[in-house]
Amino acid sequence: MPDVRHARRVLVMSLRCVLALAVLGLLAGCRMPTTVYGRLVLKPGESGDVRLARVELHDSIAWDSAPLYEVSPDTGGLFYRVSFEFPVVAPGPYYVLAWQDRDGDGRVSDGDLTGVCGDSHRPGWPGEPVIVYARWTVDAGDIEMATYRVLEVHATGARSQAGDTTTFTYSFNHDVRLNSLAIAFPGQPVLPDPGAPGDKVADSTYLSGGWSMDGQMPSGLHQLEFRGIFRDSSFMLRAAVRVD
């Protein structure tokens, strides 16, 4: 009888092991495919509706390339907080970009509502990468959405009717503190404009005029270099201006 009871115990234990392995196998077979999910959250003080954004996965920091995956947020969210999910993705590192194309130009540009992993989206910062492993569900966290601010300068130039004087005009799309403006005329050394520094108001037009040399002013491509402060950070912008 002891041998029989021992055999039964061994049989029961074996069956339990087989059952446990079967359950594990079933759970493994039922696991979700490789998935990435997260939430879009409107940054305090910002206006907008994060439900109107789209969420993309990129394999590089270059947002002008086509995303590998793209989804819309869940329809049941709130204007300031909504979930998103990529149900099936391939393993690998990704950069998450959430954005609403407010001006409809088809690219991430000034004034769009944007967000990346780890912080608000800003020029030169793609966010933190999300590492995705095979058959894992990865939480990308809260993607903070804020208005994307990119400083741009628009500049033009023209010679006087007599051709002996050149004048440039320029404007910024945001308020800035301009510290310096340097102009490179074709075939000439770089010349600073001593009257350029100062506070510049967005969308206002400023002049850099009265440029003259002995005889006719050069035509062709001129290089303007602007340096200053924008949103508490230093900037340097160059503008190529053709003067006929």
Indicate whether 122 pLDDT > 60: yes
User: What is the rounded average pLDDT for all residues in the chain?
Assistant: 87
- For 178-183, what is the mean pLDDT? 98
- Placement of tokens 């320029």 in the chain: 170
What CA–CA distance (Å, rounded) separates 113 from 48?
8
- For 104-115, what is the mean pLDDT? 92
Question: Percent of the chain having pLDDT more than 90?
Answer: 73
- For 111-132, what is the mean pLDDT? 86
Question: Percent of the chain having pLDDT more than 70?
Answer: 86
Indicate whether 165 pLDDT > 80: yes
What is the predicted pLDDT for the residue at 28? 37
Per-residue pLDDT tens for 193-229? Answer: 999 999 999 999 999 988 998 899 999 999 999 999 9
Instruction: Read off the pLDDT band of 22 (50, 70, 90).
Output: very low
Instruction: Read off the pLDDT band of 26 (50, 70, 90).
Output: very low
DSSP code string of 166-207 = EEEEEEESS-EEEEEEEEE-TTS-EEE-TT--EEE-TT--EE
What is the predicted pLDDT for the residue at 210? 87
Least confident of 4-8, 30-34, 93-97, 98-102: 4-8
| Position with higher pLDDT, 118 vs 204 | 204
Per-residue pLDDT tens for 63-99? Answer: 667 899 999 999 889 999 999 999 999 999 999 999 9
Output 213-220 pairs: Cβ under 8 A, ≥24 positions apart. Answer: 213/185, 213/188, 215/164, 216/163, 216/164, 217/159, 217/160, 217/163, 217/164, 217/165, 217/166, 217/185, 217/243, 218/185, 218/186, 218/187, 218/188, 218/243, 219/159, 219/186, 219/243, 219/244, 220/186
Question: Which residues make beta-bridge pairs with 39?
Answer: 83, 142
- Asked if 207 and 167 count as a contact pair (C-beta separation under 8 A), the reply is yes
Closest to 197 (Cα-Cα) out of 210, 183, 178, 211: 178
